[in-house]
């Protein structure tokens, strides 16, 4: 099966997430591709060799901050549901307003069977992770025989300090009195990154692409194939310059990114972008 590639431009980010796209030609193309791939794994049986679908919603973090078309992920999730394949959202990185919303069931317009959270759940103050499951999935392990139970636990289950910190952080993030970035109608974050500066950076000759959503700003530097790997040191000199400005960034090869907190002011985010843009001039001459 062959698929032609077409480029689609969107005037706003909201259009990318609009569920009206579900009836588009592209949705049909995605469905044909997903069905073909699942058929190869499962053969003629009902997904006999597919245990579950695990995805990072919207943004693939460690893979290079790649934004995935929400329509593709929605089609993928819905088709897996039709085939009785459990759906797992890995929101360890993306959850709790990292991408501007509390959970990505809202952003994608579909819900998982299992969701995994950590990191921003406690505001980064203390390590804590949580795995949530639907009632249907949880109940499937209930019963009299011990071997039917999910015999798994963690040494620090319900760790008191972590739970207390998470409860306070979530309360803090949701309250407009403590988080001036939250928009009460809808519970989403307002735009934190200056649009004009983002545009200037994205048009810079050293930049391949830019992703801006929620508390995340990421850019990919233009490089040849040999410098595009995860372990590439191509961005080292740029990062060293930014450290002199008090900005410490962890690179993913030739991808560098900034992450603020849900309560970080847009003014501070603008300051970060300004320093980054100024350093690009020196980076190009290096």
pLDDT digits (tens, 9 = 90+) for 167-176: 999 999 999 9
User: Does residue 159 or residue 122 have the better pLDDT?
Assistant: 122
User: Does residue 194 or residue 46 have the better pLDDT?
Assistant: 194
For residues 227-248, average pLDDT:
87
Q: What is the pTM of this model?
A: 0.88
Q: What is the largest CA-CA distance in the chain?
A: 70
Same CATH topology for 13-183 and 191-285?
no
Confidence of residue 284 (pLDDT cuts 50, 70, 90): low
Lowest-pLDDT choice from 49-58, 95-104, 150-159, 189-198: 150-159
pLDDT at 96 over 60: yes
pLDDT at 46 over 80: no
Give the per-residue pLDDT at 50.
Answer: 84
User: Does residue 2 or residue 18 have the better pLDDT?
Assistant: 18
Q: Which fold has domain 13-183?
A: 3.40.640
Give the per-residue pLDDT at 251.
Answer: 87
Q: Using CA atoms, how far apart are residues 123 and 129, in angstroms rounded to an integer?
A: 12
The string of pLDDT tens digits covering residues 186-198 is 889 999 999 999 9
Residue 226 near residue 191, CB atoms below 8 Å: no
Average pLDDT of the chain is: 88
> Beta partners for 87?
53
Q: Using CA atoms, how far apart are residues 141 and 150, in angstroms rounded to an integer?
A: 6
> Beta partners for 269?
none
Report CA-CA distances (Å) from 206 to 183, 222, 225, 245.
Answer: 35, 6, 15, 20
User: Does residue 225 or residue 156 have the better pLDDT?
Assistant: 225
pLDDT at 146 over 90: no
Give the per-residue pLDDT at 177.
Answer: 95
Q: Which fold has domain 191-285?
A: 3.90.1150
Residue 263 near residue 189, CB atoms below 8 Å: no
Domain locations in the chain as residue ranges = 13-183, 191-285
Lowest-pLDDT choice from 29-38, 74-83, 144-153, 160-169: 144-153
Query: Which residue carries 């009206």 as its tokens?
Result: 20
Confidence of residue 16 (pLDDT cuts 50, 70, 90): very high
Two structure tokens written together for 199:
């545009």
Give the per-residue pLDDT at 1.
Answer: 44
Two structure tokens written together for 135:
């009632």
> Beta partners for 116?
90, 131
Using DSSP's 3-state secondary structure scheme, residue 83 falls into: coil
Give the list of residues 6+ apart from residue 114 with CB closer than 8 angstroms, or none: 52, 86, 87, 88, 89, 131, 132, 133, 134, 137
Question: Rounded to the nearest 5°, which phi and psi values hold at 102?
Answer: -65, -50
Q: Using CA atoms, how far apart are residues 5 and 7, in angstroms rounded to an integer?
A: 7
Give the per-residue pLDDT at 286.
Answer: 56
Lowest-pLDDT choice from 46-60, 99-113, 126-140: 46-60
**175-184, 232-241, 249-258: which has the highest mean pLDDT?**
175-184
């Amino acid at each position: 099966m062959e698929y032609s590639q077409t480029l689609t431009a969107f005037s706003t980010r909201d259009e990318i997430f609009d569920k009206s796209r579900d009836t588009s030609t592209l949705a049909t193309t995605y469905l044909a591709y997903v069905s073909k791939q699942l058929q190869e794994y499962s053969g003629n049986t009902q997904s006999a060799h597919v245990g579950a679908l695990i995805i990072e919603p919207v943004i693939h973090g460690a893979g290079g901050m790649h934004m995935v078309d929400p329509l593709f992920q929605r089609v993928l999730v819905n088709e897996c549901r039709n085939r009785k394949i459990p759906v797992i959202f890995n929101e360890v990185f993306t959850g709790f307003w990292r991408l501007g919303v509390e959970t990505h069931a809202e952003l994608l317009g579909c819900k998982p069977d299992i969701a995994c959270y950590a990191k921003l759940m406690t505001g980064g103050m203390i390590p804590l992770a949580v795995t949530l499951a639907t009632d249907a999935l949880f109940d499937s392990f209930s019963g009299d025989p011990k071997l039917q139970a999910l015999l798994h636990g963690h040494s620090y289950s319900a760790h008191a300090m972590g739970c207390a910190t998470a409860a306070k952080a979530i309360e803090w993030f949701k309250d407009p009195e403590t988080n001036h970035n939250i928009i009460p109608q809808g519970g989403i974050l307002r735009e934190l990154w200056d649009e004009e500066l983002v545009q200037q950076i994205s048009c810079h000759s050293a930049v391949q692409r830019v992703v801006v959503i929620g508390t995340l700003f990421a850019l990919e530097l233009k490089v040849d194939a040999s410098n595009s790997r995860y372990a590439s040191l191509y961005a080292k000199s740029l990062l060293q310059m930014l450290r002199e400005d008090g900005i410490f960034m962890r690179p993913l090869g030739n991808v560098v990114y900034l992450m603020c907190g849900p309560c970080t002011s847009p003014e501070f985010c603008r300051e970060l972008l300004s320093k980054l843009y100024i350093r690009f001039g020196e980076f190009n001459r290096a």
